[in-house]
Amino acid sequence: MEVAGQARAHVARLDLTAAQVAVLDGQAHTARALWNLLHEYCTFRQGRLASVKDCDAAIRQARREIDWIGRLPAQAAQAVLRTYRQAWANYFNPGHPAKRPGFKGRFRSRMAVDVPQGRDLNIARLNRRWGAVNLPKVGRVRFRWTRDLPGVTRGGPAGRITGARLVKDAFGWQIVFRAERRVPAPVAHRGEQVGIDRGITVALALSDGTTRDHGEWLTSGEKERLRRLEKKSARQRRARTPGRPTSTRLARTYDRIARLRATAKRRAVDWQHQTTTTELARTFGVVVVEDLTITNMVRSATGTIDQPGRNVRQKAGLNRAITGQAWGRTPCWSTRPVIAAGWW
């Protein structure tokens, strides 16, 4: 028996021209600016938060009066409003860890554009390696075909594409398809129970005596390249005139550093996904994870002027090691077995 409604995401790389990249960059900056305008409109009203009707009317009026807001498609603008209202709903929910919504900075926020309607995408497969998709105000764009999408290819998985989100990272623009798939009805997992202890020298130590470890996220050559790029960026920052915009060479150095760090993160996420979601979730019926307050464990030991900290450099190295292992992300992907916290 199959059940419907299981949400899945599929990420694919877009093959864009320079003109299409410029269009998507403009849409993403407009979406960020629209978020900031909504936040100012809602938080500066006296006594109450603006309603959805008021915000929608303000967006429509802004699209008529301000030319550059028209670069963002109307449905993407409505998606910004929905995301903003959901951020407030999460903040007011006592059981949700979300913080109070705030303004989005140009260099501190991820560039993204929503395509809420799946029917507007008109996805088609061109050949074994590439597919094509329609993007609003961008046109027909190729994307890297690595997996069959539900409801697109004949004989592929059952389901449908409900929408997409365009996200820019260090490697360029990616498209994240939101898929609704029909999957087999879940059954009870009859595997054994196991406890996991997260560490630094050994990534995962299981209660059955086995361990799960990984190699370095970057090779020796990549580490040396990263070290040289960081020294180069430090020299370029010292030569930069205060108050002047970042030079093209410094921006290029930052991009190279970001790509190397993104490569390390992708390898770490891939290892964690294969280890937790794939191996451990299929092997064991119950996975018990120790309850650690990681945010407190990685706090700085610098202290204050009146009470300076001790062993600050050693504590900073420990914090980097904990952050590099991504303890908070490792148990969160084991979604198939029952996860229990507070082990030993």
Residues 34-39: contacts with CB within 8 Å, 24+ apart?
Answer: 34/59, 34/62, 34/69, 34/72, 34/77, 34/80, 35/80, 35/83, 35/84, 35/103, 35/104, 36/103, 36/104, 37/62, 38/80, 38/81, 38/84, 39/84, 39/101, 39/102, 39/103
Q: Is residue 167 very low, low, confident or very high in pLDDT (cuts 50, 70, 90)?
A: very high
Tell me the two tokens of residue 106: 């140009």
pTM of the model: 0.79
* Residue 168, SS3 per DSSP: strand
Which residues, at least 6 apart from 306, have a Cβ–Cβ distance to it below 8 Å?
Answer: none
The pLDDT of residue 3 is 56
The pLDDT of residue 5 is 63
Exposure string over 220-243, b if 16+ CB within 10 A, otherwise e: eeeeeebeebeeebeebeeeeeee
DSSP designation for 32:
H
pLDDT surpassing 90 at residue 144: yes
Strand 192-198 and strand 204-206: the pairing is: antiparallel
Question: Of 263, 256, 183, nearest to 225 (Cα)?
Answer: 256
Q: Is residue 44 very low, low, confident or very high in pLDDT (cuts 50, 70, 90)?
A: confident
Count the helices and strands in the chain (H runs, E runs). 8, 12
* Residue 66, SS3 per DSSP: coil
pLDDT: which is higher, 156 or 343: 156
The pLDDT of residue 329 is 74
pLDDT surpassing 70 at residue 282: yes
Which segments of 192-293 are extended strands (E)? 192-198, 204-206, 211-212, 284-289
Interval 79-129: pLDDT, tens: 999 999 999 899 999 888 888 888 998 878 889 999 988 888 899 898 889
Which residues is 192 bridged to in the sheet? 284
pLDDT surpassing 90 at residue 227: yes
The pLDDT of residue 224 is 95
pLDDT surpassing 90 at residue 156: no
The pLDDT of residue 4 is 55
pLDDT surpassing 80 at residue 332: no
Write the CA distances from 163 to 1, 166, 196, 321, integer angstroms: 26, 10, 37, 38
Tell me the two tokens of residue 77: 């603008």
- Overall average pLDDT of the 278-288 stretch: 83
The pLDDT of residue 341 is 40
pLDDT surpassing 70 at residue 47: no
Tell me the two tokens of residue 305: 């002027």
* Percent of the chain whose pLDDT exceeds 90: 31
Question: Of 171, 119, 124, nearest to 148 (Cα)?
Answer: 124
DSSP secondary structure of 116-132: --GGGT--EE-SSSEEE
Alpha carbon 263 to chain centroid distance? 14
Q: Contact 246/253 with Cβ under 8 angstroms?
A: no
